[in-house]
Structure 1
Amino acid sequence: MPRTAIVTGGGYGIGRAVAEHLLAQDCDVVITGRRAEILERTAAELGPRVTPMAFDASDPDAIQVAADSLPARVDVLVNNAGGATEYDFAMPERGRLKELREAWLRNIEANLMTAVLMTAALEPRIPHGGRIIMIGSIAARGFGAGRYGYGPAKAAIEPWATDLALELGPRGITVNVVSPGFTVSNDRALGFLASGDAAPLIESGATKRATDVADVAAMVAFLASPAAAQTTGQTIHVNGGTHLGR
């Protein structure tokens, strides 16, 4: 029987690449996100085994409504939704406490709470042998991202995922975090690359190149496979040696 996978933030970038790799593993894939038009276009391009579902994964009420239409059995859950919603140049000054709080909370909701809420809603549907995979970030290790909410939000995923792995391990469910380096995943990243601002980060790595979405998706696909049954509770770094996870 084909496995069923759910990929949040599956309309483009890393999420789309993950969906493609899971299709190659004979999975039926549901891609979710906030923008229906992007999801529908991606599903049309990837084929009939991909189902788009538009809702905000940071909104508990939206998840509850969507849950009735999501698969009753979820073999693979990939919590990919998120991204840096505020950058240094856009962050409020430290003295503007209300605005600063709101900016940090937007990052926490987009990157941490989407994963927490989706996992809580769908974990009862995950059978023995199931897989939960979180997409983290090299920003969890700093690299200039600790001054705003994105890096800390991604960092919070890691200890939570470890505890979840210990909780669900007796049920044969694995939980891991894939932590990409600088990845060319969207127009913002392409602009950062074209400007030359990404060059120091890329040159600090061993491979001397940016991470591609296919690099990340390939690691997710392995962790989603039956071959990864004894790999759990781990944060696996896919960054070309920019950060060494040891």
Structure 2
Amino acid sequence: MSPTVLITGGTSGIGAATARHFAAAGAAVTITGRHADTVDPAAKRLGVEGIACDGTRPEQVAAMAERLDAPVDVLVNAAGGLPPDVPEGIPPLEAVAQEWLSAMSLNVLTATLTTAAVKDKLAAGGAVISIGSIGAERGGGSYGASKAALAAWNAFLAAELGPRDITCNLISSGYVADTNFFGDAMTPERHERLINQTLVKRPGTPDDIAQVIGFLASPGARHITGQTLHVNGGAFTTR
């Protein structure tokens, strides 16, 4: 029987590369994204199922989970991103509150709500894999703090689901090119600076991350859980 895989934020970048990876291996893949006008064409292009779902909205997450058949073998929490710019003219503290609430909603709430919604459908021997960021280690502001919170939650989740033989790990990605993450904020100078911070002198690719996700969901990774794996070309190293 083909494994079933649910990927949030699966319309582009890391999420789409992950969907492509699992679909090529014969898995039954479902991707989610906030808007049907992006989810539907992405699902068709990738040859997978698609469900429009805003992962910050409990009612939409619940409705999405109801559409899934059990069991779910692999859950990939890839939704997230930088908080949008705060509109000008609002009081400074209100601006701070909006930025931080947005960062937490995009990067933590999406993962926690989705996981809670499908938790009872997760199969023994399955895996939950969430996408963190090097920003949690340095200079990340509200975004980095939200990714650090995601790593802390992952450790809690691993302890909760471990007795059911479900592993939970977080991939802390470095600079990954060919995504929509930076929008218009990426310049040639910034691109070169981020590459020079790596030891391998190249940016990561969505497929680099997808391959690691595939490993964490494989039989060879069954004794790896509660971990943060740094996949950044050596831009941040651990001991």
Q: TM-score, normalised by structure 1?
A: 0.91
Shift of 1:26: 2.0
Shift of 1:7: 0.2
The residue aligned with 1:64 is 62
Contact 2:82 2:181 survives alignment (8 Å): no
User: What fraction of aligned residue pairs are identical, expressed as a percent?
Assistant: 41
Aligned pairs for 1:125-204 within 5 A: 125-142=121-138, 144-146=139-141, 149-187=142-180, 189=182, 191-204=184-197
* CA displacement 1:53-98 (0-9 Å, x = unmatched): 00111111111222221222110000000101246xx687997111
Aligned pairs for 1:88-127 within 5 A: 96-127=92-123
Match of 1:76 among 74, 77, 96: 74
Of 63-72 and 26-35, the range deviating more from structure 2: 63-72
Superposition RMSD in Å? 2.0
Shift of 1:201: 2.4
The residue aligned with 1:17 is 17
Shift of 1:168: 1.2
Contact 1:131 1:175 survives alignment (8 Å): yes
CA distance in 1: counterparts of 2:236 and 2:87, whole angstroms: 26
Distance 1:91 1:240, change over 3 A: farther
Aligned pairs for 1:46-57 within 5 A: 46-47=46-47, 50-57=48-55
Shift of 1:133: 0.3
CA distance in 2: counterparts of 1:91 and 1:179, whole angstroms: 30
Which secondary structure state, in structure 1, belongs to the residue aligned with residue 124 of structure 2? coil
Which secondary structure state, in structure 2, belongs to the residue aligned with residue 130 of structure 1? strand
Contact 2:215 2:221 survives alignment (8 Å): yes
Contact 1:34 1:54 survives alignment (8 Å): yes
Size of the aligned set, in residue pairs, is: 239
Which secondary structure state, in structure 1, belongs to the residue aligned with residue 171 of structure 2? strand
The residue aligned with 1:228 is 221
Contact 2:73 2:126 survives alignment (8 Å): yes
CA distance in 2: counterparts of 1:245 and 1:40, whole angstroms: 40
* CA displacement 1:12-42 (0-9 Å, x = unmatched): 1110000011113321000001021221112
| Counterpart residue identity of residue 65, structure 2 | A
CA distance in 2: counterparts of 1:25 and 1:65, whole angstroms: 28
Contact 1:236 1:245 survives alignment (8 Å): no
CA distance in 1: counterparts of 2:113 and 2:103, whole angstroms: 15
Contact 1:77 1:133 survives alignment (8 Å): yes
Q: TM-score, normalised by structure 2?
A: 0.93
Shift of 1:200: 2.1
